[in-house]
Amino acid sequence: MHREFSATRDDVDAIAAWTVIRAARELARRLATELDPLDLTPVEFGVLVQLAAADGLSQADLARAVGVRPQSMTPLVTGLGERGLLDRGTERGRGRLSRIRLTPAGRELLAQAYPVVRASNRWFGDDADTSALVTTLRPLLGDASDPVDAPVP
């Protein structure tokens, strides 16, 4: 039997997960606009900042840390490598684990991009509001031993 469904905009906005998903998409668009002058996307920033926080990551580790599918990482890493921003090592090939590292050019671009991304915290109000939001969302991001949690130099 078919049941009629009815929901108001307020009903939909009261679904926390859906609201977070919509907000994440909007924030990604805003951050993309902020990073565009540096010719960097938010995902590319994520790759650079993760590589700065760890001494070499495999593509699989990097995909997990950035939150993209492993299949998406190959063209991403290739593009950043062609721009001279990271080094994929010399031992590449099927079945060989290669560690990806930032190049000096990658570190330089990250040094320019990091303050831009850090400044996005102002979108959430004062430091206390931002800290509360991060505290609320952080458990959704995984284990504290993931590369995403390593300190950024």
Q: CATH code at 79?
A: 1.10.10.10
Rounded to 5°, the CA angle 135-38-100 comes to: 70
Number of other residues whose CB lies within 10 A of the CB of residue 54:
18
**16 assigned to some structural domain:** yes
**2 assigned to some structural domain:** no
* Nearest alpha carbon to residue 61 among 82, 78, 77, 39: 77
Domain, as residue range, for 114:
9-149
**57 assigned to some structural domain:** yes
Q: What is the pLDDT of residues 37-62, one digit of tens each?
A: 999 999 999 999 999 998 789 999 99
Please tell me the predicted confidence (pLDDT) of residue 97: 66
pTM of the model: 0.82
In angstroms, the CA 138 to CA 140 distance is 5
Q: Given pLDDT bands bounded at 50, 70 and 90, which one contains residue 96?
A: low
Please tell me the predicted confidence (pLDDT) of residue 141: 82
Query: Residue 72: phi, psi to the nearest 5?
Result: -80, -20
**3 assigned to some structural domain:** no
**Mean of all residue pLDDT scores within the chain:** 87
**78 assigned to some structural domain:** yes
* Nearest alpha carbon to residue 73 among 82, 83, 60: 60
**1 assigned to some structural domain:** no
Return the top range by mean pLDDT from 23-32, 66-75, 85-94.
23-32
At which residue do the structure tokens 């590449």 appear?
A: 92
Beta-carbon contacts of 150 under 8 Å, excluding residues fewer than 6 positions away, are 53, 54
24-34: average pLDDT = 96
**113 assigned to some structural domain:** yes
Please tell me the predicted confidence (pLDDT) of residue 153: 39
- How many folded domains does the chain comprise? 1
User: Quick one: what percent of the chain has pLDDT higher than 90?
Assistant: 61
88-110: average pLDDT = 81
